Amino acid sequence: MKKNFILILTLLVIGIAGCKNFKRPKKLVMRDTSITTSTSFNNLFFDSIQIEGFLKSHEEFKPYEEQFLNFYKERNYQFAWFDNKGIAEQSFNFLNLLNSSVSDLQDSSLYNPNLTHLYETAVADTLHQQPLENVLITELSFTGQFFAYAAKVYKGSDIDAADLGWFIPRKKLNLSALLDSSIKSKATDIEIYAKQNPQYKKLQEHLVRYNELAKTTSFDSIPQIKKPLKKGDSSYVVALIKRRLYALGDITITDSSFIFDSLTTIAVKKFQRRMGLSIDGAVGNKMIEELNVSLKWRIRQILVNMERLRWMPPEKDSNYILVNIPEYRLHVFDSGKTVMDMNVIVGKSANSTVIFTGNLKYIVFSPYWNVPTSIVKKEIVPSLEKNSNYLEKNHMEITGKSNGLPLVRQIPGPFNSLGLVKFLFPNNYDIYLHDTPNRDLFSQSSRSLSHGCIRISEPKKMAQYLLRYDTSWNSKNIDSSMNLTKERWVTLKKTIPVLIVYFTAWVDKSGELNFRKDIYGHDEKMALKLFTK
């Protein structure tokens, strides 16, 4: 009996001890991923691997993976579009900017209705109860859309510019740094940090106007005429012309009469100036062709040239020379302001002038013209076979031979094809500015006539400008240097940038929208790249 009692007591003690050491399984605690008032959006961070997951389900932002990683790595993967109150003011500013751009540019590729939905959901979440996963999607969606927007509007489409004959280095843009600057400053205008050519905004304003005009106006084709219409004439065609000029803004008063009056003459001259036509105040068939260009085509022309402006590098110097090939004009800028304009002659379509940039370094007075091998082969050798006195007649001489062809140069003088002076900015295209003995060609409205180099209408004026700070030069010794029997080289103390560009739509210093013909077909090639999709 006693033994049984001791055994039961021992088992009881062991049981009690076992109960004390037994640990019950912990209750499984679910992590609360909602943002509460205790967290209050302070110090929101995420893991870098979550970017990879986001991009897998948002392939439209995959091209910007590097920018995503660079941007968030710099901020230690802290949220950017949310502050301690919730979704930040900058998100609202960007959404407005995005929607305005979609409207102004009529560019559906920038439209993102999901972003608006994400923003509205975030704003409505006043109790901060959204799952953190949803907040992260909103965060990364804003970042991705910013990169897509900035790349399109400030950098330009992913097009090989050289494939379109454009050899000016394209503007470089650090999208990650641009977003960082915009977030920190809460800027409503990204352009503060991504400078665009001033022409861009001006063209965009006219694009908005033309888009509205295209929605509200339809044009009947103006018929061709047998002879030009001018002041004093009367015709139903005059009424059609007035209506068109009123719609385009060249005349401010509506007038349906058939009379070609003085106000019509003023409006015609304005339109002719904007189109690069001969400004005579009379309407001929060339002008009617320009009037009949559809609004849809003009809108496309504006968009093509806005794309080119996105490529333009920022100005490094406020003093520069700009040649616009389709305009047949040269413009000199000093301290950012136009100080000189002159007509130029550019290359024919078969010998098109190259679009590039260089630095003007030398003036060569009384130059020799070293005739290019191509011209020697195609023109001079056949002419010599027909006429042995061809060289003497054209003031040329042979200086040697190369690959079986003579090396030919034309001696200095008023008959020289380069005229009395040339301006060199060393480049791989053998293109430069120069004078010409054929002065009458500058009065033509279409001036694509050269072998590629650029002939300028006022060479002495250009020389005076370039040498304006050198007291050893004046009008008299510039004249004498332009009439030597041997060429004279002058090295500029400071080089000046030269930009040879191709714009068929731009806004002039009077605020008027100009259009020119696509003389080399560059617009058409770019339009195929931009609008085919």
Residues identified as active-site: 434, 453
Q: Which structure tokens are listed for 446?
A: 């279409």
Pairing of strands 337-347, 448-450: parallel
Task: Show Cβ contacts of residue 52 under 8 Å, excluding neighbours closer than 6 positions.
Answer: none
For the chain, the first-to-last Cα distance in angstroms comes to 101
The answer to whether 76 and 45 are in contact (CB under 8 A) is yes
Exposed, middle or buried, 485 (CB in 10 Å: 0-12/13-18/19+)?
exposed
Contact between residue 72 and residue 79 where contact means Cβ atoms under 8 Å apart: no
Q: Tokens representing 292?
A: 């009949």
Q: State the Cα–Cα distance between residues 391 and 232, nearest whole angstrom.
A: 54
Instruction: Using the CB atoms, write b or e for 66-77: b if 16+ within 10 Å.
Output: ebbbbbbeeeeb
- Contact in structure between 228 and 298 (CB atoms under 8 Å): no
- Alpha-carbon distance of 41 to 136, in angstroms, equals 12
Reduced to 3 states (helix: H, G, I; strand: E, B; else coil), residue 379 is helix
Residue 64's Cβ-count burial label (10 Å; 0-12, 13-18, 19+) is buried
DSSP E strands in 39-147: the ranges are 82-83, 86-87
Q: Which tokens is 15 given?
A: 């049981």
Please give the C-alpha separations between residue 500 and each of 164, 312, 327, in angstroms, as whole numbers. 14, 12, 11
